[in-house]
Structure 1
């Protein structure tokens, strides 16, 4: 019960923080008010400007550098989330056996199922909520970085490679790369996992959505997506390397 209350408290706090997300078109400055602007968006905006000035006024390279830095900071949380996911996956056969044993829908049977499930979690040292907390911590940071890119006026006044950071990519190269890397990232993350129809649908829908957004949004945001996706692909490959190898071998054996 205490864990549920704590989780609800965190969610309420996040909702309060993210209530500032409607200011997407308002420029971010040191004078911007509100918890969301002051403690999330502006520090990240300042970081982008700082590295840009350090790197010869190149805001494109700055976005690349800051994206990698943020992903490195979040790496321990990603590892923790992956470990929790693996632990939950390892006890799935035992959980399925419990569901079959207590398949009746009456209240007493369901209470017994809950008790046995909690005992199973304790036996293996698994916390079913452990995978949620890293995600809850990551989301405000990633959304804040998205806002920092969209609301930092200096970014829109500079270009990088073949595109203006404040305008959509005129050749649609970044949107297509963003979509392709999103697909590859999700494909690697799903390796070794029994794909259900919803997961398969998301595998194809997410890249399409990213491409549609990237075609209309400033290229700076597409650059952030591409760099973040490439980092996540490398990160996921190394974290889930053995699982990916096993999935490939299993797939080859089936053929």
Structure 2
């Protein structure tokens, strides 16, 4: 989990860095060249424009639809993340026993601890890095989304509800909702964990508060279209987590019986 926290912070830092780098002031068109433009930015720009034209040039509604499509495409990864998180919670007592058994800090004992821990992961089908995979996949999409917004003139100038898509939300409503939805989604991920598991995984509690703060602060300064993507995406994630976890918790209850 600590690696996940560091990775998330690093990738959001990368988003901020890339947002101000190269070609951001150049319009994206079908004639744009380069791997990044051809395979990431232009397809998103085209997709948003396509749905906007279907909805009477409503680019805000188009972003909502495209966000739902992206989140739906990522659904298998997110299901895998939830299952891995649940499996990790279930084996926490065994991991604690191993740490107590190999409590010595010498290199040989620590190597043995790593071997036993990896064997435990394999036995229970747990991938400790599974939680990072959705983040790794989403970050290039998020950066491309930002570029598509800033480099498609129609998106940048279009208004939706109370805000202009190419400018930050003047009332900070979107950043607050984005941060709140992120917090709720993280909270749902932790639902069902015992107090003992929480104490053994303080990094998860850190993630619970750090992620909403990072998302909210970033959304304050970035275009509202990107904040809209976060809001819709996180609300989708909340609903997804509720519906996926419910049968998982029922199965757990049935197994306990």
Higher RCO (CA-CA < 8 Å; seq separation 6+): 2
* TM-score, normalisation: structure 2: 0.76
Shifted more, 96-105 versus 68-77: the winner is: 96-105
Task: Tell me the CA shift for residue 243 of structure 1.
Answer: 7.3
Q: Which residue of 1 aligns with 2:124?
A: 124
Q: Per the alignment, in what secondary structure is the counterpart of residue 23 of structure 1?
A: coil
Q: Which residue of 1 aligns with 2:22?
A: 23
**CA deviation profile, 1:191-212 (whole Å, cap 9, x unmatched):** 2341655544543444344343
**CA deviation profile, 1:83-142 (whole Å, cap 9, x unmatched):** 122222222211211121111222332232233223323322333344444443333223
Unaligned runs of 5+ in 2: 1-10, 251-257
Q: Which residue of 2 aligns with 1:7?
A: none
Task: Tell me the CA shift for residue 224 of structure 1.
Answer: 1.4
Q: Cα 1:57–1:121, aligned 2, differ >3 Å: closer, same or farther? A: same
**CA deviation profile, 1:179-199 (whole Å, cap 9, x unmatched):** 322222222223234165554
Q: Cα 1:24–1:71, aligned 2, differ >3 Å: closer, same or farther? A: farther
Q: Which residue of 2 aligns with 1:166?
A: 166
Q: Cα 1:40–1:190, aligned 2, differ >3 Å: closer, same or farther? A: same
Task: Tell me the CA shift for residue 75 of structure 1.
Answer: 0.5
* TM-score, normalisation: structure 1: 0.77
Is contact 1:192-1:243 (8 Å) kept?
no
Give aligned pairs, total: 231
For 2:34 and 2:168, locate their aligned partners in 1 and report how far apart those are by CA, in whole Å: 29
For 1:104 and 1:205, locate their aligned partners in 2 and report how far apart those are by CA, in whole Å: 32
Q: Cα 1:186–1:244, aligned 2, differ >3 Å: closer, same or farther? A: farther
Is contact 1:80-1:134 (8 Å) kept?
no
For 1:128 and 1:86, locate their aligned partners in 2 and report how far apart those are by CA, in whole Å: 11
Shifted more, 63-72 versus 83-92: the winner is: 83-92
Q: Which residue of 2 aligns with 1:215?
A: 220
Q: Which residue of 2 aligns with 1:145?
A: 145
Is contact 2:82-2:189 (8 Å) kept?
no
**CA deviation profile, 1:11-65 (whole Å, cap 9, x unmatched):** xxx9xxx996633733322233322221111111110011111111110110000
For 2:205 and 2:114, locate their aligned partners in 1 and report how far apart those are by CA, in whole Å: 30
Is contact 1:157-1:165 (8 Å) kept?
yes
Q: Which residue of 2 aligns with 1:248?
A: none
For the aligned residue pairs, the C-alpha RMSD in angstroms reads: 3.0
For 2:160 and 2:134, locate their aligned partners in 1 and report how far apart those are by CA, in whole Å: 33
Does residue 94 (structure 1) correspond to residue 99 (structure 2)? The answer is: no
Q: Cα 1:164–1:142, aligned 2, differ >3 Å: closer, same or farther? A: closer
Unaligned runs of 5+ in 1: 1-13, 246-255
